[in-house]
Amino acid sequence: MQEWQQEQQRVNEVTKKIRAKAAILEKQTGTVRSEVTEIRQNFWEDVTVNFDNAEEAAETHASIKQQAEMLAERERSHHHYTNQLKLLRRLMNTPYFGRIDFAEEGEPAEAIYLGIGSFYDEEQEEFLIYDWRAPISSVYYDYAAGPAAYTAPSGTVHGTLQLKRQFVIRNAQIEGMFDTGVTIGDVMLQEVLGKQSNTQMKNIVATIQKEQNLIIRNESSRLLIVQGAAGSGKTSAALQRVAYLLYRYRGSLRADQMILFSPNPLFNSYVSTVLPELGEENMQQTTFQDYLAHQVTGFTLEDPFTQLEYMLRSNDAVRRSVIRYKAELNFMKLIDSYAAHLQIQDMHFTDIKFRGTVLLTAREIAAYFYSVPVDSLPSRMEETARWIKRELKKHEKRERTRPWVEEEMELLDKDTLQEAYETLQSKQRYSEHTFNDFEREQALLRAIVVRKHFKKLYVHAKKLRFADVPAIYAQLFAPGFAQFTDQLPANWQDICDYTTKELMRRNLPYEDATPFIYLKEQIEGFRRNTSMRHIFIDEAQDYAPFQFAFLKRLFPLAKMTVLGDLNQAIHAQSAHVSLFTLSSLYDQSETIELTRSYRSTKQIIEFTRQFVDGGERIEAFQREGALPVVEQVPADGLPGQIATRIAALQGAGHQNIAVICKTAHESKQMYQQLQPLISLRLITKETSSFEPGVSILPSYLAKGVEFDAVIVCDAAADVYGEQDGKLFYTVCTRAMHELHIFTTKQITPLLRLAKAETYENRP
């Protein structure tokens, strides 16, 4: 009790100093805000503007630059003060969560208190709180009492950990305090994990486990692969890794040099608050589909959810084989061979037209293209673009005499006429000759009118749009075309037939999107992004080897962190792909496996791990709960039973409840049946934000998120077959506290894999 009082006294003293520092910062922030406002309002009054001669213009430029620099400096100060103030306000309520007493070799022990940010006492000239990302803080996560070490900028520091203590502090009051061993104590984890689910991912800095800390602080690997069971905290650890890297390299790394490829827009919303809670700016977030959509032209692009929806609702063996082949690196090699063939022949171009008249034919462009003595497609394209621009200039001059130009000249606005007049006056001022103003003005206006219309053609040439990439890609699948290689798969004809049919409809299947862009960039030149330093890919098991190789080429200087769970590989292109094959793409790679699941209760984990190979290796955190319930109901009574169960779950205090169907089609049907009975929200692939309450959604949109309770809508044998073990596992592992499975017919044969004592059967 005395120790508790001493620790509480320290909390009181620290929070008092935090409040005092915050009060000072509030005044400074207000002062700087006023200065910024004043500079903005009086910007031009404080600038000397004079362009009469070169000297005065230079002075004006210097005056503007000085004023702009002053404004930028004040804005930076305001931003810095604001961020500091946000951190201090968070520290007022929970100043820290841990303490270690660490004695360096030959030195007395020092008490180190860890929080979400540092707090330095200028009077005592010491840190009262250390940031959880500071080098010495790793001792808290990695060691029990005894010999310990941490890596500092000056080298490895060895010493002895004499005490490791954890706190639960709310509103500056200690609610829990306990000493612990190697891992973060079960008491704190129980306290955090036992809470209701939230529409935002939890910040886990107070409960980071040793294996998660290895992920967070890894700095050496070019490729870091995290294979983690459902609920093992791999995504949370990755976000803490972002925060750690921004702290560790705060002088040279910015948040906009890091990007997260997430599974869907809904997931972006789910994780969006983690970094701001730690006082960091959010990294860039996107989906791979969004990237593809910005690059694909000439087709209607299928998204991965439409592809998956189709595959879940059909038994199309041909499409499945097409998807799998186009996911492989062998298909990338085939496109490389095709690009080499295009160096010699078979490029396709489009006519360049103006007002219905062909200025340059595709045949003329092709003839010039293959006459260019350059050995790369992009170089030839650039040289051809320059030639097209020269030819367009000739046509532009001829076009000025056409009758349509005279008609458009009469419609010119006043600004254009004034611009033409000023241009004419300028030319006369610096010319030794005199001109007929009217004739010169007419010629100038004709040039302006024609140039305005030709501008689109110049852009067309500059962006290399004269190459018919859709036709070039489609040609690869033409009957008997791919004779330039003898490395075709046995089912090549099936691949050609299916692909040709879709491309003729101007549809680009999802499995073709990355190969199409890859070929496009082989022709036009690769648009590498060298500014990105770190790439994070979540749900990496859903990516194809082709896509990974493409991303590596797209971000050549970036380190890559990929997070996935092979037991949740539900996409056709990834079902047979191992994350570990990725290591062949990088020189320095490391794999960390997380086998302990924290999301669900022990009962839910012991039930769900039976549906996947190697499930016995998944460890359950010791958090007790009710057995999963399996219940058979008549089809016409299913909506009523689900509504009743939702009401009971809400009565038990569960706030976020998910009704998960296999497909979007089934989700929409059940939503329409449930809507008159209970308030709920339908989540679709377009949904971009989480909201608390009851949600109904398809299986593949539930990946990566968690709910207090999950209701599996219908686990009948004709819905989840023996081949759907990974999908069923994915659905069931979304539940934190309760799992309820309904079936309208014979139950899925997957249940035969589950021991009777691991669930409650209600016939």
pLDDT in tens, 642-655: 999 999 999 999 99
Is 745 marked as a binding-site residue? no
Question: Which helix or strand (DSSP H or E) is residue 709 part of?
Answer: strand 707-712
Q: Is 235 annotated as a binding residue?
A: yes
Rounded to whole angstroms, the Cα distance separating 421 from 412 reads 13
Q: Is 693 annotated as a binding residue?
A: no
For residue 463, how many other CB atoms are within 10 A of its CB?
11
Q: What is the mean pLDDT of residues 617-634?
A: 93
What's the distance, CA 678 to chain centroid?
34
pTM recorded for the entire structure: 0.86
Confidence at 82, pLDDT banded by 50, 70, 90: confident
Residue with tokens 């791919």: 482
Q: What percent of the chain lies above the pLDDT cut of 90?
A: 65
Report the C-alpha gap between 221 and 354 in whole angstroms.
54
Q: State the chain's mean pLDDT as an integer.
A: 88
Given a contact cutoff of 8 angstroms between Cβ atoms, the answer to whether 241 and 218 are in contact is: yes
Q: Binning pLDDT at 50, 70 and 90, where does residue 229 land?
A: very high
* 704 among annotated binding-site residues: no
Q: Which pLDDT value is given to residue 191?
A: 62
234 is in an annotated binding site: yes
Looking at 510-662, list the stretches that DSSP marks H as alpha helix, in order from N- to C-terminal side: 510-524, 545-554, 602-608, 638-651
- Cα–Cα distance measured from residue 93 to residue 90, given in angstroms and rounded to the nearest whole number: 6
For position 47, what pLDDT does the model report? 55
- 106 annotated as a binding-site residue: no
What does the pLDDT look like over 589-608, one tens digit per residue?
A: 899 999 999 899 999 999 99
- The DSSP call for residue 673 is H
Mean pLDDT of 320-328: 93
Mean pLDDT of 496-515: 96
Tell whether residue 233 is among the known ligand binding residues.
yes
Please, which pLDDT band fits residue 40 given cuts at 50, 70 and 90? low
Residue 419's H or E segment, with its range, is helix 414-429
Q: How far apart are CA 260 and CA 626, in angstroms?
A: 36
- SS3 call for 174: strand
Task: Tell whether 564 is in a known binding site.
Answer: no
DSSP one-letter string for 322-333: HHHHHHSHHHHH
Q: Are 63 and 69 in contact (CB under 8 A)?
A: no
Q: Which two tokens stand for residue 145?
A: 């009492």
- d(CA 347, CA 334) in angstroms, rounded, equals 16
Alpha-carbon distance of 148 to 139, in angstroms, equals 7
- Residue 658 host element (H or E): strand 657-661
H helix intervals, 535-578: 545-554
Please give the Cα distance from 558 to 546 (Å, whole number). 18
Among the residue ranges 98-112, 437-451, 455-469, 735-749, the one predicted with the least confidence is 437-451
